[in-house]
Structure formats: structure tokens, C-alpha cells
Chain A
Amino acid sequence: MSLISLGLILFKIVFALCTLSVAGYLLSLLVKRVMLAKISTWILAIAFVFLTVYLLLAVISSTGFHNLGSRAFFSFCALSASGVYLALQFKTKTRLLGAFISPFILFFMIAAAGQETGKSLLPEGLRNWLTMAHLTLTIVGEVLFVLASCAGAMFIIQNGLLKHKKLSSMSRLLPSLSDLDKINHICLLWGFPILTVGIIAGAVSAGFTWERGWPADPKIIWTVSAWIIYGFLLHQRLAIGWKGFRMAVVSCAVFILFLLSYIGVRFCFTTLHDFI
């Protein structure tokens, strides 16, 4: 069996496992049983292992990390989202966060499945390590921001239930406010420097490739705006002492704003980053 066909089988397995875990998480919300979320977390952990093997095979079968195909790249996005979520599970017992993050993971997997096998992600002139590092770090940084926002959304729900004096089954199912705030904090704390390094790598790579530094590309503007807001949120948290509800609301509002503007940028503008 060739590496490519083995990779294809692994990809299909991961896709099935991700779908299963999303179904499990959503079902746990529906029937309000945390046990289902726990099982889904294990399924996601298995998917993570298979996905890691799949990506290793993809790197081996391509001529290098910078020549990675677009399917492998989107799979990497799914890997980073699931990896960050699973890592957070060691810090906090917030299994139900998976119900919010797993649809994003599945979305990345669907995007990966939609890519042609063997199609290279980067255009000819951009295939270098620096551009790949830029893409990878930017994606990981933004995944952390997504997680911070998911934790924020859960915080808002739990806060609403507790403020209305309802210790309902949903409230019992959701993690504690303190744990959710901790996730928001950790994600911002790690996400900001990672995104910063990612943007710097992109700037350096652009300098080498286009020899004109920072072009006014909509996606660049979008990412830099995200970075600025990210920095603002982190500053407010660390220096001013924003915590809990306010942080959750702002994280969610910013996330929705960025998601909408990303969709606008992606479908209404031609950018230098059309390959993603």
C-alpha cells in the first residue's frame, strides 16, 4: 500500500471520527449528559492521533513542509484546533467546550475534504519555509482566539442561568464560570504572541517575495486588525483587570465581527492570500 492511499484511509477515518465526536457533543447538550461529552473527547483524542499520523505521512510524501498540499494544510488547522482543546482539558475539566469547538474542527475537515488530492497549497513563488511558518502560526493564533471566544460564549450562557437563579440541568452541564474565564485567559495569553510571531514571519516573507513589504491586502488588514484587538483584550485583562462577563462579551462580539468580515473579505475581494 502506497503512502498516499494509506493517507487517504487515515483521512477518511479522521473525518468519520470528527463527525462522530461532533454528534456526541451535540447529543450531550441535547440530553444534558456530560458522559457523552467525555466519550466524544476520547473520540476526538483518537482522531487527533490519526490526524497527526496522516500529516506526518503527508509531509513525508511531499518534498517538504513548505510544499504541503492544501488538503494537508486544512487538516493541520483541524489538528491545531483539536490539539489546543485537548491540551486545555489537562488544565480544566471543561469537556463541554468540545460542543462549541468541534463544529469548527469538522468545518476544517470538510474544507480539507473539498481540496483536490495532490494540489499544492502555496503558489509557485511563495513555497518557502517562512511563508508556511507564517500561515501555521497565524492559524494557531486565530484558533486560540476562536477557543477564547467559545469559552466566552459558554460563560455568557452560564452567567445568564446563574443570574436568573436557575440551577438547571443546563447549568449543571456547563463548566464553572471560573474555568471558562481561565480558558479565555490562557487562550489570549498564548494566542497573542503566537499570532505576533506569525505576522512577523509573514511580513519578512512578503519582504523577500514581493520586495515591497506590506501591501494593502484585505486579508492582511483583517489579520492585523485581529492582532490589534487581541492585544487590546490582553492588555485590558492583564493591566486593567477585565475579567469574567465583560471579557466574555467582548471576546464574543469581536469574534462575530471578525467572522463576518472574514466572510466578506473571502468572497468579495481578490487578495494575495486567495490560496486559503
Chain B
Amino acid sequence: MIVLLGVNHKTAPLAVREKIFSGCEEEKDLFSRLLSLKGVQEVLHISTCNRIEIIASIEGKEETVRSLFDFLAQNGNLTQEEAEKCLYNYCDKEAVRHIFRVASSLDSLVMGETQILGQVKDAYRRALERNATGTVLNRLMHRAFRTAKRVRSETAIAVNPVSVSFAAVELAKKIFGTLTGRKILLIGAGEMAELTGTHLISSGAEDIIVANRSPSHAAQLAEKFHGEAVSLDALGEKLIEADIVISSTDAPDYIVTADLIRKIHHQRKNRLLFLIDIAVPRDIDPAADSIDNVYLYNIDNLQDIVDENMNIRKKEALKAEAIVEEEIMRYTNWLKELEAVPTIVSLRSKAEEITQAEMKKASNWMQKFDQEEQEKIKVLVNSIVNKILHTPVSVLKEECSEVGSTDIVATVRQIFRLDE
């Protein structure tokens, strides 16, 4: 049986997640302790800022689940009430669904974000290094990664950005193609402008100029980006050089007027200009947008794009859920087939024993044949046995994956007296 226990951003506040996170981090031999719990056969531990989860393959249900529950509660130093409120646990199909959805980023705070898959892979790698996983969890995690890959490639869940700064980067790419060699002018040293600038630079933009009313703030930010700091008086001159302008000052009036843009546009040789105005009240005159080759986006325009992208993600999530269900079916079928494996092994062993015993009995009269003929008889006997066993083994596998193994396994064991 597969079980999954844990907390996430939906069920537990940050303070509780922190406590469990620290408790698990401090635990020196986490995997050995988990594996030493009665009934735990395989185990894996996922720990990120938004979730702490334990996935285990266990024998026997209630007692083992309770011990895993207590383990998490004790590590997080949680009261009984806190634990009952925050910790969730899923069994079998539900557990499989949960881990597939987590790996596919359907359960993330920002649906479709790409980090979680790497974090789940890291968690699996750690468990592998400690030999904490076996057949069941290995297969489960490979299926989870495959599901995540399918969700990413077959849906557009992670395609469109859902943050204002990434939306600005995407727009810049639609205007300039590549951002390599593009010059950014930051007007004001606000946090949002800084974040957008950081994203643009990590996407290839090279030069950055910071223009600010306070020279010390400008110099501080410019140093961070290895750029140039200028005063607001030099704005006109620097606008000629810039390709992307991000403005976020708290000035009450327009800092960049449409007339200023018109005036410098000829000196810019009509190059494309992307203006991002994230200030409230606005820093850039909206009339600038009517100038050819000038593209002005304010915070509302960017937020609209983000909202639209979020809606697209929600629609894509429906397709992703269908993929998850498909993969759950495949995995659970395999899991059911796995239940037939001991019976198949017993059946083959029994057939092998009977064959060996009969061949031994026949060894006297087989003496009259030469060595080559004896080998041929052995091959013939093995072939007949394999052919006879082929159908029951296939039916056993099929029935186990489709209907559930209990009845058919019991019947086969009874018919062939495998338990004697």
C-alpha cells in the first residue's frame, strides 16, 4: 500500500510548515528512522517552502499510518490539535494522484511553476542515495516525472508568464526578439523596477542605466547591476540610448512626456522603444503610445496580461488533470499486476519442481538415448510446461490489472495448491 502524509500551503500556515521543516532538517538520519517504523518498506521525503510530505510504501494500514503521522507531528513539535488540523494523509490511488499533481505543478501555489519538479527530483535522489526506495516507489516516482513531462509538453500550463515582471520580459522579447545587447533605463530605484530589470538582464539584456532623483540610490542600484548611475536631468540624453525603459518613481507628474519622446525619436533613428510604466501615479505620458515604434505598457496593462495568462493556465489545468488520471490508471494497473508476481513465481517454481522430479524418475529409461536426444527431450518437456503455464500467467496478470487481484490470486493458489 502507498501512503502520503504531509502539510502544504493550503492546509498549514507558514509557522507550522516552518516547525515541521526544521524538525525534519534537524533529524540526522531521517530515512533510517522512517524505515525503522513498523510496516514501512520504502520511503521518500519531500521538503520545500510550501510543502513537507512523506510518501511510503507500507505493509498493514492503520498502525503504520498512525506512526508516520506521529513522526511528523513530533518532528514539527505540533500539538495534537495542530496536527489533526494541518496534516493530511492519502492512501493508494489518492496518494498516487497527489504526488502526480505535485510533480506536475497542479498543486503549487503558482500553478504551472517549474521549480517543483526539480525539488521532487532532488527529494527522490536523496532517497535513492539512502537506499530508501524500492520497486514500488521507484516506479511511482518515474511515473510522476513522466506525468510532469507530459503535462508540460502536451498542455500550455507553463507557457505564459504569471508575474508582472515576467510578462514585461515576454513583451520585450516580442518587440526585440533577443534581448542580447539591449540597453535598459531604470527611472527610479523602486523594488518592482529592480525586479523587472533583474529578469530582463537574466534574459540577455546587457547594459543598464539607473536614473534617480537621489544619486546615492541610483549609484547603489547601478553598482548591483554593474551599470551606470545618472541624475534625472540626464534623462533625455539617456532615453536616446535606451531600448527598454522601466519607470517607477513616486513623482506626481509625468517624468517622460510624449513631447520628449517625439523630440528624441529622430535622434534615436526611429528605433523600437519599449516603455514600462509601473508607477502610480503614472510617470510616462500615455500619449507616448501613439508614436510609431513606441510601445507603452502601464501596470494595469501588465496585470491584464497576467490575469489572462492565469485564466489560460486554469483552462490548461483541466487537460493536465486528464493526463494525471491517465497516468494514475497506468500506475495502478502496474501496481495490481505486481500483486500477482509472488503467485506467478510460486506457480513457475512448482512447475519447475514437478518437471525436475519427473525427469529424475525418467532418468533410468532415458539412458538408452544418447546425450543429444536426452537434451532434446528436456527442451521438449520445458517447452510444453511453458506453453501450459503461459495462459494462466497471462490471465492472472490481466485480471489483476483490470479487476483486482484478491479473487483470482486466491483461486490460482487454491487450484495449484501453491500454499501447501
User: A interface vs B, CB < 8 Å?
Assistant: 92-93, 158, 162-163, 165, 167, 171-172, 175-179, 181, 241-246
- Which of the residues A163, A165, A175, A242 comes within 8 Å of B305, measured between beta carbons? A165
In Å, the complex CA distance between A194 and B304 comes to 47
- CB within 8 Å for A178 and B170 given contacts A167-B305, A243-B270: no
CB nearest to A249 among chain B residues: B292
Determine if A167 and B292 form an interchain contact, defined as CB atoms under 8 angstroms apart: no
- Complex interface residues of chain B between 247 and 295 (CB less than 8 A to chain A): 266, 269-272, 289, 292-293, 295
Binds A, one of B37-45, B114-122, B171-179: B171-179
CB nearest to A246 among chain B residues: B292
In Å, the complex CA distance between A179 and B304 comes to 26
In Å, the complex CA distance between A24 and B293 comes to 31
- CB within 8 Å for A167 and B293 given contacts A177-B272, A241-B270, A242-B270: no
Determine which residue in A167, A175, A178, A241 has the highest number of CB atoms from chain B within 10 A of its CB, and name it.
A167
- Which of the residues B175, B266, B305 comes within 8 Å of A241, measured between beta carbons? B266
Please tell me if B167 contacts chain A, counting CB pairs below 8 Å. Answer: yes
Chain A proximity of B200: nearest CB distance (Å) = 15
Determine which residue in A163, A165, A176, A244 has the highest number of CB atoms from chain B within 10 A of its CB, and name it.
A165
- CB within 8 Å for A163 and B171 given contacts A179-B177, A241-B270, A244-B270: no
Complex contacts, B225 vs chain A, CB 8 Å:
none
Please tell me if B223 contacts chain A, counting CB pairs below 8 Å. Answer: no
Please tell me if B308 contacts chain A, counting CB pairs below 8 Å. Answer: yes
5 contacts across the A-B interface (CB closer than 8 A): A165-B305, A167-B170, A178-B175, A241-B266, A243-B272
Complex contacts, B292 vs chain A, CB 8 Å:
244-246
CB nearest to A171 among chain B residues: B174
Chain A proximity of B137: nearest CB distance (Å) = 35
Determine if A243 and B271 form an interchain contact, defined as CB atoms under 8 angstroms apart: yes
Determine which residue in A162, A175, A242 has the highest number of CB atoms from chain B within 10 A of its CB, and name it.
A162
Determine if A176 and B174 form an interchain contact, defined as CB atoms under 8 angstroms apart: yes
Determine if B177 and A167 form an interchain contact, defined as CB atoms under 8 angstroms apart: no
If over half of B's interface residues share one DSSP class (helix, strand or loop), that class is named, otherwise mixed; here it is helix
Complex contacts, A181 vs chain B, CB 8 Å:
272
Determine if A245 and B293 form an interchain contact, defined as CB atoms under 8 angstroms apart: yes
Chain A proximity of B281: nearest CB distance (Å) = 19
- Which of the residues B174, B176, B266 comes within 8 Å of A167, measured between beta carbons? B174
Complex contacts, B271 vs chain A, CB 8 Å:
243
Determine if B295 and A162 form an interchain contact, defined as CB atoms under 8 angstroms apart: yes
Complex contacts, B293 vs chain A, CB 8 Å:
243-245
- CB within 8 Å for A176 and B269 given contacts A163-B295, A167-B305, A243-B293: no
Determine if A165 and B297 form an interchain contact, defined as CB atoms under 8 angstroms apart: yes
- Which of the residues A172, A241, A245 comes within 8 Å of B269, measured between beta carbons? A241
In Å, the complex CA distance between A163 and B291 comes to 10
Chain A proximity of B284: nearest CB distance (Å) = 14
Complex contacts, B67 vs chain A, CB 8 Å:
none
- Which of the residues B167, B174, B270, B304 comes within 8 Å of A158, measured between beta carbons? B174
Complex contacts, B270 vs chain A, CB 8 Å:
241-244, 246
- CB within 8 Å for A165 and B304 given contacts A245-B292, A246-B292: yes
Complex contacts, B50 vs chain A, CB 8 Å:
none
Chain B proximity of A179: nearest CB distance (Å) = 5
Determine if B272 and A178 form an interchain contact, defined as CB atoms under 8 angstroms apart: yes
Complex contacts, B269 vs chain A, CB 8 Å:
241, 243
In Å, the complex CA distance between A177 and B167 comes to 17
Complex contacts, B309 vs chain A, CB 8 Å:
167
CB nearest to A165 among chain B residues: B301
B51-64 toward A: CB 8 Å interface, digit per residue (1/0)?
00000000000000
Determine if A178 and B176 form an interchain contact, defined as CB atoms under 8 angstroms apart: yes
Complex contacts, A246 vs chain B, CB 8 Å:
270, 292
- CB within 8 Å for A167 and B171 given contacts A241-B269, A241-B270: yes
CB nearest to A174 among chain B residues: B174
CB nearest to B305 among chain A residues: A167
Question: Can you name 8 extra interface pairs (CB under 8 A) apart from A158-B174, A165-B301, A245-B292?
Answer: A176-B176, A177-B176, A178-B175, A178-B177, A181-B272, A243-B293, A244-B292, A244-B293
In Å, the complex CA distance between A176 and B173 comes to 7
Q: Would you list the 7 A-B pairs with minimal beta carbon distance, nearest first?
A: A176-B177, A241-B269, A244-B293, A243-B270, A245-B292, A165-B301, A178-B177
In Å, the complex CA distance between A242 and B265 comes to 11
CB nearest to A158 among chain B residues: B174
Chain A proximity of B313: nearest CB distance (Å) = 14
Complex contacts, A177 vs chain B, CB 8 Å:
174-176, 272
Chain A proximity of B273: nearest CB distance (Å) = 10
Determine if A167 and B308 form an interchain contact, defined as CB atoms under 8 angstroms apart: yes
Complex contacts, A171 vs chain B, CB 8 Å:
174
Complex contacts, A179 vs chain B, CB 8 Å:
177
Chain B proximity of A38: nearest CB distance (Å) = 15
B139-182 toward A: CB 8 Å interface, digit per residue (1/0)?
00000000000000000000010000001001101111100000
Determine if A92 and B177 form an interchain contact, defined as CB atoms under 8 angstroms apart: yes
Determine if B295 and A167 form an interchain contact, defined as CB atoms under 8 angstroms apart: no
Complex contacts, B266 vs chain A, CB 8 Å:
241
Chain B proximity of A233: nearest CB distance (Å) = 14
- Which of the residues B160, B171, B304 comes within 8 Å of A162, measured between beta carbons? B171
Chain A proximity of B191: nearest CB distance (Å) = 24
In Å, the complex CA distance between A119 and B304 comes to 61
In Å, the complex CA distance between A163 and B297 comes to 9
Complex contacts, B174 vs chain A, CB 8 Å:
158, 162, 167, 171-172, 176-177
In Å, the complex CA distance between A177 and B273 comes to 11
Chain B proximity of A25: nearest CB distance (Å) = 20
Determine which residue in B177, B269, B293, B309 has the highest number of CB atoms from chain A within 10 A of its CB, and name it.
B177
